[in-house]
Structure 1
Amino acid sequence: MDSLESAQTRRAIIKSALIMAGGAAVTACSSKTTAVAARPLPIPVAPPAAAPAKTVPATAARNIAPQGIRPELFRKAVSSLNRHSMRIPMHDRIAIADFAIPSYRPRFHIINLGSGRVETLLVSHGIGSDPQHTGVLQNFSNAVGSEATCEGAFVTSDYYVGKHGMSQRLEGLDPTNNNALDRAIVIHSSWYANPEMITKWGKLGRSQGCFAVGEQDLARVFERLGQGRMIYSAKA
């Protein structure tokens, strides 16, 4: 079933990328948006997961936190998915960004709620959330210009090409992140979110509030989440 879903998601990504005209992105991570040429983009091919995915029975997947995810955080994410169910078209997979974990550890969990399969990746937090660059998120902010990570539920939206290359807009669904579109809080890849940063500096670099992932991980994130799925960002 995952292979069929992945194929459908890849086709949706290509279709979306072909029909978009770039779209104007405002400040923060997306900055200036460049029009997308009318030519096929390469199909995102997800690299193999770093470790074998863990599974739980499908009937229990929404009630039992998969191994490696804090149970209370998982329950909050599922509750948020249910609360925003009318605004989130796809309920088969979710992502949880656990910002209680420092940036040198994988903390962006992509979860298949049917099978319990989990893939966990590195993700950066915002400059405004960690002014001293400790590698640990200190606070969230929804304020325009804060360059901070914000908490709450997001739904993945359309794709565009900006200063970080292929990127994906996010719509904030809670009062704590409802400025996400105005702040251009998006998913993109960057060199400062690559694993080599941990080897050299002991932590990832910081974004302007965006969910920045490693350059080798972006295709996997796009393939697994596609459009219309939830990302839940939290620390507690």
Structure 2
Amino acid sequence: MNFRTPLFSGKTSFWLLLLLLSGCQTAEQQQQEKPRPATTRTAPARATAPADTLQPPPLPPLAAVPAELRRRIGQLHAALGTEAAELRPAVWERACVGYLVLRQQGKVRRSGLLAVADMELPSSSQRLWVIDLRAGKVVQRSYVAHGRGSGRLLARRFSNRIKSACTALGFYRTADTYGGSHGLSRRLRGLDAGQNSNAEDRYIVLHAADYAGRAHLARHGQLGYSRGCPALPPEQYRAVIGAVGEGACLLLSGAALQSRWLDGAAAGRAFAARGWN
């Protein structure tokens, strides 16, 4: 009789089948045990940067500033104390020189008061100072936001162009106040042609903004952004707007600024004639 011999015996087939089933089960269990991607939402990361990248671009000393004026500017900076420790001497020198020339030419009316913002410091710094020149003291120190077109934590792009959403560098004269969508606001007049001369057309003003306050800073590690205005904290804007008043000199400083008012020789003559008045 012709018959085929089975490949496996019944007992062998049983154990082989059991082994195969066991192998499938193990693979399935391993598949189930693979870690799944986390679906829990995490808090947004703070805008941080290495310490060396937070350093603002260097500013060389201005040319033609008389030695006596440079000495007096340095003395006044020292008199301001720790409140002005972060106000870079080169920025302070530019602010003082521009103020003296503008006062001499009647471009700013309020004497003895100077506001300066170093817009190349991180927005997490209190980088706006309002200073009484005659008393040698800081009247107000405040956070101030830059335009969203200028950068994130650091402002590195500046523009006078309408709809650029950038901060515009240069000297400004503070103007009248009004009640706008942000509450009490103070208009600004740009005094540097090609640098900030479109301030009025761009509606660049001092105003309050929630994104410029301490609560926003505590949550995000930096301020938010304006459309180009130097926006102020809601808890301090009235004090700053009141302190600068109307007709005062405000400098929004940056390395790219080219201003006719940064005339060291003219500033020296103005200081010799009338001091800080």
TM-score between both structures, scaled by the size of structure 2: 0.61
Task: Give the paired residue count.
Answer: 175
Counterpart among 92, 105, 108 of residue 125 in structure 2: 105
Q: Is the 8 A contact 2:73 2:96 kept in 1?
A: no
Deviation, structure 1 residue 160: 1.1
Map 1:68-217 onto structure 2 (within 5 A): 68=85, 69-85=87-103, 86-118=106-138, 119-130=140-151, 133=152, 135-175=153-193, 176-217=195-236
Please give the secondary structure, in 1, of the residue aligned with 2:130. Answer: strand
- Cα distance in 1, alignment partners of residues 75 and 157 from structure 2: 29
Deviation, structure 1 residue 188: 0.1
Map 1:23-42 onto structure 2 (within 5 A): none
Alignment deviations for residues 22-60 of structure 1 (CA, whole Å, 9 cap, x no partner): xxxxxxxxxxxxxxxxxxxxxxxxxxxxxxxxxxxxx94
Bigger-Rg structure (1/2) = 2
Q: Is the 8 A contact 2:170 2:190 kept in 1?
A: yes
Structure 1 spans left out of the alignment, 5+ residues: 1-58
Structure 1 residues 184, 62: CA separation in 2 closer, same or farther (over 3 Å shift)? farther
Structure with bigger helix share is 2
Q: Is the 8 A contact 2:120 2:156 kept in 1?
A: no
Q: Choose between structure 1 and 2 for higher RCO, CA contacts under 8 A separated by at least 6 residues.
A: 1
Deviation, structure 1 residue 214: 0.6
Q: Is the 8 A contact 1:123 1:193 kept in 2?
A: yes
Please give the secondary structure, in 2, of the residue aligned with 1:64. Answer: helix
Map 1:25-64 onto structure 2 (within 5 A): 60=72, 64=76
AA in 1 matched with 2:179: V
Aligned to 1:44: none
Please give the secondary structure, in 2, of the residue aligned with 1:231. Answer: strand
- Cα distance in 1, alignment partners of residues 239 and 73 from structure 2: 22
Deviation, structure 1 residue 64: 3.4
- Cα distance in 2, alignment partners of residues 216 and 93 from structure 1: 22
RMSD: 1.6
AA in 2 matched with 1:75: E
Deviation, structure 1 residue 127: 0.8
Structure 2 spans left out of the alignment, 5+ residues: 1-70, 256-277
AA in 1 matched with 2:200: L
- Cα distance in 2, alignment partners of residues 120 and 162 from structure 1: 24
AA in 1 matched with 2:100: N
Which 4+ stretches in 1 moved above 4 angstroms?
59-63
1:233 matches 2:252: yes
Counterpart among 218, 226, 234 of residue 237 in structure 2: 218
AA in 1 matched with 2:196: N
